[in-house]
């Protein structure tokens, strides 16, 4: 028996009804998360003239680790077993260490919006990796979506010039997407025995330690960088690295993960808008079309039938680490 809807609710389209049903504080948390993650691509672009890719990674991760440690105060500590330690270390090296360095290097030659579009290819790589290595299978729609998204990446490559500096930046952005996916795949099994907040802090700390070879470069950059650039790196460590995962966790604890994960599609267009507003950067028309094709591929990859698709979407959304307490319990239950 179908639920009865009032005349006003029945007149609303399904998406509008879903949005209106979300509590205002949850909508605010989603907005903060999307804005924070999108702004990271732009702030990175703005501070790179003053900080090298490795130095930027080290300072951002060190600040993020310190903030995440504060969020752990007063919470019970779970000692990881040897297998969990290996998974967490691998996640930290891939998702935090290599990913941040690759992302920063990519943005030396690519604008923030274009980089965001390429990195958004990561969910498909994660799903393919889960099918191959975690034995979750590769449904037909996932294969179709992967092909379409790859075509979008190729178009972005043409839009950035194909070769030279733009082509190198494209390869680094793809490396960032690849290491992001590898980090998620390594993180997921660890969540079965260690709280997400703890996994996130440990992985971020591992990433910071792996970036210590750039300490000398960081000291030199700090000595010459303007205060505004240094504060930009502080922002990267506090807001996109720590705060955004907390607001994501708050929203995840209060709405279906599948619905929440759709909000990640907003990150590239918001990054493009912020890049235009603050840096005067706009991707080429071909790159924008490629980004739209890439997002279409990500959307197609999620068409697995009503129940299976929702389960897969929930799994991907829950794979994001969050230091929020209640959200951590939800996260561990769904991803474990």
- Burial, 49: exposed, middle or buried (Cβ in 10 Å; 0-12, 13-18, 19+)? exposed
CA distances from 309 to 25, 33, 110, 139, 329 (A): 27, 23, 33, 10, 22
Q: What is the pLDDT of residue 192?
A: 87
> With pLDDT > 70 as the criterion, what percentage of the chain qualifies?
80
Distance between CA atoms of residues 35 and 198, nearest Å: 24
For the ranges 8-12, 33-37, 204-208, 272-276, which has the lowest average pLDDT? 8-12
Model confidence over 50-73: pLDDT tens digits?
Answer: 999 999 999 999 999 999 999 999
Total domains in the chain come to: 1
Distance between CA atoms of residues 167 and 289, nearest Å: 17
Identify whether the C-beta of residue 43 lies closer than 8 Å to the C-beta of residue 236.
Answer: yes
> With pLDDT > 90 as the criterion, what percentage of the chain qualifies?
42
Does residue 303 belong to any structural domain of this protein?
Answer: yes
Q: Which domain holds residue 268?
A: 24-335
Distance between CA atoms of residues 253 and 327, nearest Å: 5
Q: What is the pLDDT of residue 304?
A: 57
Model confidence over 29-52: pLDDT tens digits?
Answer: 999 999 999 999 999 999 999 999
Query: Could you tell me the pLDDT band of residue 324, with boundaries at 50, 70 and 90?
Result: very low
Does residue 5 belong to any structural domain of this protein?
Answer: no
Q: What is the pLDDT of residue 258?
A: 60
Q: What is the pLDDT of residue 257?
A: 63
Does residue 75 belong to any structural domain of this protein?
Answer: yes
Kindly report the number of other CB atoms within 10 A of residue 164's CB atom: 10
Does residue 226 belong to any structural domain of this protein?
Answer: yes
For the ranges 8-17, 165-174, 270-279, which has the lowest average pLDDT? 8-17
The stretch 297-311 carries a mean pLDDT of 60
Q: What is the pLDDT of residue 336?
A: 34
For the ranges 16-20, 193-197, 224-228, 265-269, which has the lowest average pLDDT? 16-20
Q: Which of 245, 207, 269 is nearest to 41 (CA)?
A: 269
Model confidence over 67-91: pLDDT tens digits?
Answer: 999 999 999 999 999 999 999 999 9
Distance between CA atoms of residues 92 and 198, nearest Å: 12
Does residue 39 belong to any structural domain of this protein?
Answer: yes
Q: What is the pLDDT of residue 20?
A: 56
The stretch 142-169 carries a mean pLDDT of 75
- Burial, 323: exposed, middle or buried (Cβ in 10 Å; 0-12, 13-18, 19+)? buried
Distance between CA atoms of residues 43 and 240, nearest Å: 10
Identify whether the C-beta of residue 123 lies closer than 8 Å to the C-beta of residue 265.
Answer: no
For residues 74 and 301, the model is more confident at: 74
Q: Which of 130, 149, 131, 245 is nearest to 196 (CA)?
A: 245
Q: What is the pLDDT of residue 151?
A: 85
The stretch 16-34 carries a mean pLDDT of 79
pLDDT exceeds cutoff 50 at 276: yes
Query: Tokens at residue 104, please?
Result: 């920063």
Does residue 314 belong to any structural domain of this protein?
Answer: yes
Query: Could you tell me the pLDDT band of residue 160, with boundaries at 50, 70 and 90?
Result: low
Encode burial over 208-247: b for 16+ CB neighbours within 10 A, e otherwise: bbbbeebeebbeebeeebeeebbebbebbbbbbbbbbbbb
The stretch 155-184 carries a mean pLDDT of 80
Query: Could you tell me the pLDDT band of residue 175, with boundaries at 50, 70 and 90?
Result: very high
Does residue 279 belong to any structural domain of this protein?
Answer: yes
Does residue 11 belong to any structural domain of this protein?
Answer: no
């Amino acid at each position: 028996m179908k639920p009865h809807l009032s005349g006003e609710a029945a007149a609303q389209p399904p998406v509008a009804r879903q949005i209106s049903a979300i509590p205002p504080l949850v909508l605010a948390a989603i907005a903060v998360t999307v804005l924070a993650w999108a702004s990271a691509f732009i702030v990175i672009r703005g501070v790179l003239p003053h900080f090298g890719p490795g130095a930027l990674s080290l300072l951002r991760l060190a600040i993020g680790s310190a903030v995440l440690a504060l969020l752990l105060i007063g919470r019970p500590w779970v000692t990881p077993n040897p297998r969990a330690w290996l998974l967490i270390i691998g996640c930290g090296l891939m998702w935090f260490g290599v990913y941040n360095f690759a992302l920063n290097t990519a943005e030396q030659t690519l604008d923030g919006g274009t980089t965001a579009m390429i990195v958004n290819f990561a969910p498909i790589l994660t799903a393919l990796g889960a099918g191959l290595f975690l034995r979750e299978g590769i449904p037909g729609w996932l294969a179709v979506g992967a092909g379409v998204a790859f075509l979008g990446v190729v178009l972005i490559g043409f839009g950035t010039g194909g070769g030279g500096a733009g082509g190198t930046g494209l390869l680094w952005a793809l490396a960032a997407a690849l290491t992001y996916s590898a980090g998620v795949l390594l993180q997921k099994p660890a969540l079965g025995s260690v709280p997400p907040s703890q996994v996130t802090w440990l992985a971020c700390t591992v990433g910071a330690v792996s970036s210590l070879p750039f300490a000398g470069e960081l000291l030199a950059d700090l000595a010459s960088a303007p205060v505004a650039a240094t504060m930009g790196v502080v922002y990267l460590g506090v807001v996109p690295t720590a705060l955004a995962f907390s607001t994501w966790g708050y929203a995840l604890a209060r709405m279906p993960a599948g619905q929440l994960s759709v909000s990640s599609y907003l990150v590239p267009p918001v990054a493009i808008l912020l890049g235009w507003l603050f840096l005067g950067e706009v991707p080429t028309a071909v790159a924008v079309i490629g980004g739209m094709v890439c997002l279409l591929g990500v959307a197609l990859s999620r068409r697995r039938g009503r129940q299976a698709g929702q389960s897969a979407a929930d799994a991907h959304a829950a794979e994001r680490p969050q230091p929020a307490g209640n959200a951590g319990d939800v996260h561990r239950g769904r991803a474990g």
